[in-house]
Amino acid sequence: MAQPVVAIVGRPNVGKSSLFNLIAKERIAVVHDQPGVTRDRIYADVEWDDGHFTIVDTGGLDLDPEDHLIDNVQWQVEVALNEATVILFVVDAQTGIMPHDLLIADMLRKTDKEIFVVVNKADNARLETEGTEFYQLALGEPFFTSCAQNMGINVLLDEVVFAMPEAETENPDAVTEPIKIAIVGRPNAGKSSLINAILGEDRMIVDDRPGTTRDAVNIGFTHDTVPFELIDTAGMRRRTAINSELEQSTVQRAIRSIRKSDISWLVVDATREIAHQDKTIGSYIARQGKPCILAVNKWDLIAKDNSTFNQFVESIRRQMPQLFYVPMLFVSALTDLRVMKLLDLTLTIHREYSTSVSTHELNNLLAHLKNAHPPPRSGGVRPSLKYMTQIKTQPPTFLLFARHADKIQPHYEAYLMNGIREAFGFSGTPLRIYYRSANAKLAANSHNKRKEGDRRSAAARKRRT
């Protein structure tokens, strides 16, 4: 049975995202004093006492009426209300009841959902005492909270769980951890459109102005019985182009999303040249040891002939050599071209990202590689490769024992990595090779042999006497 949904609604700047973060126990939603920061539905699974539910943050119900995004935001709120079991209607203790609070209350009274009025910013006893005016909303007894001081949240959650149908608050059966996909790229590359195409619904607000998505939005779903979690992130621009505190916050969240992900989709726009920021994001993904897919979006807008595909591939490979191992898919979120293949490829890459190769197989490969092409001399010394083992997965990491390991050149390391890929796959994932000098080990063995020889000689002399 699906978990019940708790939706947080209210006009802008009353503390909805702060409440969401406190309940989710993580800073997921961007908190900022600029009205209208939250535009998409943001979800998080919550466990409280014996209850399990999904909390959803929504956009404010009062944006600039001249902004055409308001229709999208209000539609997102309506969807959240329709899927909700419980609604948290957040108001502001410091401003008191505002006209839009009354309008929202009128709308909520028409629903058959369990509604809690959450009077936030009640930071002192006086505000709580004077808060009797919130009974005018005719939605039951208000709950006074302060997200800034973490006051009243526990009492609220106790009542929320109590209000849920008992069958839905039982602990759900354990399920496989979802594969987390961070969808990153420059603004307006089509990341949100790509998510909508995969989900088959307008879950994300799509707008042709850069910067529409501000939060990192986590969306769980299942494809071919495999659980996935998509993380849509704010578009990442060059640091010099980030001119607001809010955008700095959203870019940092995108970076954290890459760190927390199992795989990243780097979305580039086929109609635009590869930019410095595309390369920077790609390098960051590689440094973090995350597997990646290059999703070349808007492929439907490109005029093509027999050489177009190869020219694009060659150009992107030339400009992004740090992602030479990353597969490339040419997709269109608008026409659904190859969109679902992204998920199939993700599953394959994640499987190889988690693959462990036996030491026997690795050393058979190592013997073949060094016999075919011995490591070149450096400073008059030729490294001697002895032994290789895999020490971890995600990303696949190998330890190579060698004499004069410090003399192994970068191009020879690339040769070893390419040999590993050809033998065992590892498509889309970076590899790591660490070295340990065999010199000290050999010296220790020689020292031990000398000691054993001395001991035996002494024993022989003693027998002769």
| 3-state secondary structure labels for all residues of 425-456 | CCCCCCCEEEEEECHHHHHHHHHHHHHHHHHH
| Maximum Cα interatomic distance, the chain, rounded to a whole number of Å | 111
Can you tell me the mean pLDDT for 366-371? 95
Q: What is the pLDDT of residue 171?
A: 45
- With beta carbons less than 8 A apart as the criterion, state whether 153 and 23 touch: yes
Inform me whether the pLDDT recorded for 238 exceeds 60.
no
**Distance between CA 413 and CA 221 in Å, rounded?**
40
**Distance between CA 147 and CA 310 in Å, rounded?**
55
The number of residues in the chain equals 465
Inform me whether the pLDDT recorded for 346 exceeds 90.
yes
Inform me whether the pLDDT recorded for 32 exceeds 70.
no
What residue type is 435 in one-letter code? Y
The pLDDT mean for the chain works out to: 79
Superfamily designation of domain 179-353: P-loop containing nucleotide triphosphate hydrolases (3.40.50.300)
- With beta carbons less than 8 A apart as the criterion, state whether 53 and 164 touch: yes
**Distance between CA 160 and CA 156 in Å, rounded?**
6
Which helix (DSSP H) or strand (DSSP E) does residue 83 occupy?
A: helix 69-83
Inform me whether the pLDDT recorded for 251 exceeds 70.
no
Can you tell me the mean pLDDT for 250-275? 85
Task: Name the residue ranges covered by the structural domains of the chain.
Answer: 5-169, 179-353, 359-442
**Distance between CA 425 and CA 419 in Å, rounded?**
10
Alpha carbons within 13 angstroms on the beta-carbon side of residue 146 total 11
Strands (E), 327-393: 328-330, 384-392
What residue type is 247 in one-letter code? E
pLDDT in tens, 82-134: 778 899 999 999 888 988 888 888 888 878 888 999 999 988 767 666 677 88
Yes or no: is domain 359-442 CATH 3.20.20.100? no
Inform me whether the pLDDT recorded for 214 exceeds 50.
no
- The answer to whether the 5-169 and 179-353 domains have the same CATH topology is yes
The region that residue 211 occupies, defined by phi over 0 for left and psi between -120 and 50 for alpha, beta otherwise, is left
pTM: 0.58
Can you tell me the mean pLDDT for 232-240? 52
| CATH code reported for the domain at 5-169 | 3.40.50.300
How would you label 436-456 residue by residue, b for 16+ Cβ within 10 Å and e otherwise? ebbeeeeeeeeeeeeeeeeee
